[in-house]
Amino acid sequence: MTWENSAITITTLLPLVGALVIALVPKGQDRLIRGLGVAVTGVALVLAAAIAVGFDYAAPGLQYVLDVRWIDAIDARYHVGIDGISMPLYVLTFLLSFLCAIYTWRYLPSPGRPKAFVALMLLLETGMAGTFVAFDLILFFVFWELVLVPMYFLIGIWGSDNREYAAIKFFLFTLFGSIFMLLGFLAMYFRSEPHTFDILELQAFAQAGGFSRGFQVVVFGAVALGLAVKVPMWPLHTWLPDAHTEAPTIGSVLLAGIMLKMGTYGFVRIALPLLPDAASAYAPWIGLLAAIAIVYAALACLAQRDLKRLIAFSSVGHMGFVMLGIATMTEIGIQAAIFGMVAHGVITGMLFFCVGSIYDRYHTRQIAEIGGGMLQKMPKLGSTFAYVAIASLGLPGLAGFWGEVMALLASFRPNETLGLDPGLFRVFMVMGGIGTILTAGYFLWMLQRVNMGVLPDRWREAPLADTLAIEWVSWTPLLALILVLGLYPRLVFGMTDEPVAALMSLFGG
């Protein structure tokens, strides 16, 4: 056991251990439980940061690898490691979880029960983090499904009025998709020679032409279905607004911030390299769905009356840009996609924090009931909200810009050697451009109706407290990151450049 080969395991599983420890703490110890949550996620974040610092960004391939026997009966191995594609998402997982734990120090939605809440949150953290470092399909699937259960309970127990419908819908939708994904994994296992679930071995097998085109097309369809539900791609997105709207604040933050990226990450890590021929064949269709999602979600946002539902729908559009980047099958497009994932995680996570705190003050999420003038009563919260919303509409200089503009740039000339039609992708590009205009429209209109204007009389005497110290603590890292990523995109592009180039070399270019 060295740090090199055990770092990932320790870091990833630490929250799981934390959850078990919390299970042993007596129920009444509320502060202790929440404190443990902060401590465990904090230590995990430090470990993840240590991994990121110790990582050699110039070297190709995986680092911090541990590859040992796990379930011999099905040749499943415990194979974990990390590269520049995983790194930003892995670190973001620990950062957002830590900030959620801090936020939970003050905010615990009804019906309380901190023990279960914190334990589930930690369980979720392990599941999400594990997904980004698993290099065995079964291990990947275990982490993938592990996420489902805690999120189901977080929505179903701590959610708002329509929580049960939303939780069941979320669970079934995702499970429905995962089943097809698992089928695809099994098919690859049985078709590979020798049978393996190892992602790198399957990749090599696929490179050697092991999977026929027909096989790839069928299996890609199955795997992509599972991933697409998670992203979510249009028209499989309808679970998302319900889940987000009903989920407690930290549920929404983690759902938007990390969980959606599991789907897009799966495309980059599994679907593309393992099934390259099919990926090229499906790319125009993925691009089409992505472009539709961008415009469709923006239009839907214009009609939303519920603040949280509006932000939820905006995620569908932003993930559309991520998928559009992937669909171009170019280095620029895929790097843009990874940047977009990180940026969306930071920005939309932060937006859900804001909306959660707004709800905490007003006890309503209806834009009409809030009625404007928030800047008068709560200038700090209002300014923060405006800053993040403007970041989300893709203002250059802030994080939201690079993923979107680079995805559009990639669409200008998709990978023509793979037979992608530039004319078609330029249509997608124009749709994306229209989407950015509509996005600016709905965000600014939202700010006008929530932030600006005169405070309605009903709130004049209400005890609406401006941003609290604990909120500043949990938000400042994200607010700073939005600016830093915006001004210095190399922070992410520097990580993804090498591995994405390696990925694209699988496609002969």
Partner 1 sequence: MVGALGILAAETAGAPAHADVSWFVRSAWLVPLLPFLAAGLILFLGKRSPGGGAPWGIGAVGASFVLSLGVLWHVVQGGAAYEASIPWFAIGPLHVEAGILIDGLAAVMLVVVTSISLMVQVYSLGYMHADQRFTWFYVVLSLFTAAMLVVVVSNNVVQLLVGWEIMGVCSYLLIGHWWEEHENSSAAIKAFITTRIGDVPMIFGFFALIAATGFATANIRETTHAIAEGGEVSTAFLAIAALLLFGGTIGKSAQFPLHVWLPDAMAGPTPVSALIHAATMVAAGVYLVGRLFEVFVAADPAVLTTVSVVAAITMLGAALLAIAQDDIKRVLAYSTLSQLAYMVAGLSLGEEGFTAGFFHLFTHAFFKALLFLAAGSVIHAVHSNSMREMGGLRGSMPVTFRTMLIGALALAGVVPLAGFWSKDELLVVAYDTGTTWLFWLFLATAVVTALYTTRMIVLTFFGSYRGQGHPHESPPSMAGPLVALAAATAVVGFLGAPQLGAVFGKWVYVGHPHEAHVVPWIAVLSTAGALAGIAVGWLVYRDARGVDPLAARLGPLWRVLERRYYIDDLYMAAVVLPVRDRLSAAVVWVDRHVIDGAVNGAAWVTRGLARLVAWVDRHVVDGAVNGLGGLTGSSGGLLRYLQSGNVQWYAVMLFVGVIALTVVFIRIV
Q: Cα(first)–Cα(last) distance of the chain, in Å?
A: 38
Q: Which is nearest to 89 in space by CA: 423, 344, 284, 448?
A: 344
Identify the burial level of 363 via C-beta atoms within 10 angstroms of its C-beta, where 0-12 means exposed, 13-18 middle and 19 or more buried: exposed
**141 lies in the binding site for partner 1 (CB under 8 A):** no
* Cβ closest to partner 1, residue 107 vs residue 282: 282
**476 lies in the binding site for partner 1 (CB under 8 A):** no
* Cβ closest to partner 1, residue 81 vs residue 159: 159
Region 197-216 residues binding partner 1, contact defined as CB under 8 A: 215
**473 lies in the binding site for partner 1 (CB under 8 A):** no
The least CB distance from residue 271 to partner 1, in Å, is 16
The least CB distance from residue 186 to partner 1, in Å, is 6
**502 lies in the binding site for partner 1 (CB under 8 A):** no
The least CB distance from residue 5 to partner 1, in Å, is 31
Contact 133, 81 (CB under 8 A): yes
* Cβ closest to partner 1, residue 98 vs residue 339: 339
Q: At what angle do helices 379-392 and 469-487 cross, to 10 degrees?
A: 30
Q: Which is nearest to 297 in space by CA: 425, 155, 408, 393?
A: 393
- Quick one: tokens of 454? 């005169």
**From candidates 10, 21, 281, 395, binder to partner 1 by CB under 8 A:** 395
Region 319-378 residues binding partner 1, contact defined as CB under 8 A: 330-332, 335-336, 373, 375-376
**441 lies in the binding site for partner 1 (CB under 8 A):** yes
**21 lies in the binding site for partner 1 (CB under 8 A):** no
The least CB distance from residue 441 to partner 1, in Å, is 6
**From candidates 70, 105, 176, 359, binder to partner 1 by CB under 8 A:** 176
**408 lies in the binding site for partner 1 (CB under 8 A):** yes
**42 lies in the binding site for partner 1 (CB under 8 A):** no
Region 442-471 residues binding partner 1, contact defined as CB under 8 A: 444-445, 448, 451-454
**What is the C-alpha to C-alpha distance for residues 496 and 85, in angstroms, rounded to an integer?**
5
* DSSP letter for each residue of 365-410: -BHHHH-S-HHHH-HHHHHHHHHHHHHHTT-TTSTHHHHHHHHHHH
**From candidates 10, 32, 43, 434, binder to partner 1 by CB under 8 A:** 434
**From candidates 190, 194, 208, 363, binder to partner 1 by CB under 8 A:** 190
Tell me the β-bridge partners of 325. Answer: none
**From candidates 436, 459, 477, 478, binder to partner 1 by CB under 8 A:** 436
* Cβ closest to partner 1, residue 22 vs residue 446: 446
Residue 134 phi, psi dihedral angles, 5° rounding: -80, 130
- Quick one: tokens of 30? 């509320």
Contact 183, 218 (CB under 8 A): no
The least CB distance from residue 95 to partner 1, in Å, is 21
**From candidates 464, 501, 502, 506, binder to partner 1 by CB under 8 A:** 501
* Cβ closest to partner 1, residue 454 vs residue 462: 454
Contact 479, 392 (CB under 8 A): no
Contact 148, 174 (CB under 8 A): yes
Dihedral sign for Cα atoms in the order 301, 307, 309, 313: positive
What is the H or E stretch that residue 35 is in?
helix 30-54
What is the H or E stretch that residue 478 is in?
helix 469-487
Give 426-430 contacts, CB < 8 A, sequence gap 24+. Answer: 427/291, 428/287, 428/288, 428/290, 428/291, 428/324, 428/327
* Cβ closest to partner 1, residue 198 vs residue 331: 331
Region 145-174 residues binding partner 1, contact defined as CB under 8 A: 152, 164, 167-169, 171-173
**What is the C-alpha to C-alpha distance for residues 483 and 388, in angstroms, rounded to an integer?**
10
**From candidates 302, 424, 464, 468, binder to partner 1 by CB under 8 A:** 302
Contact 133, 94 (CB under 8 A): no
* Cβ closest to partner 1, residue 199 vs residue 500: 500
What is the H or E stretch that residue 433 is in?
helix 422-450
**380 lies in the binding site for partner 1 (CB under 8 A):** no
Region 218-237 residues binding partner 1, contact defined as CB under 8 A: 218-219, 222, 235, 237
- Quick one: tokens of 508? 């002969």
**From candidates 46, 303, 368, 465, binder to partner 1 by CB under 8 A:** 303
Q: Which is nearest to 123 in space by CA: 103, 159, 141, 148?
A: 148
**From candidates 85, 120, 124, 405, binder to partner 1 by CB under 8 A:** 405
**What is the C-alpha to C-alpha distance for residues 497 and 74, in angstroms, rounded to an integer?**
35
* Cβ closest to partner 1, residue 32 vs residue 292: 292
**488 lies in the binding site for partner 1 (CB under 8 A):** yes
The least CB distance from residue 415 to partner 1, in Å, is 11
**From candidates 90, 98, 135, 296, binder to partner 1 by CB under 8 A:** 296
**179 lies in the binding site for partner 1 (CB under 8 A):** yes
**71 lies in the binding site for partner 1 (CB under 8 A):** no
Cβ neighbors of 503 (< 8 A, separation 6 or more) are: 85, 268, 272, 273, 334
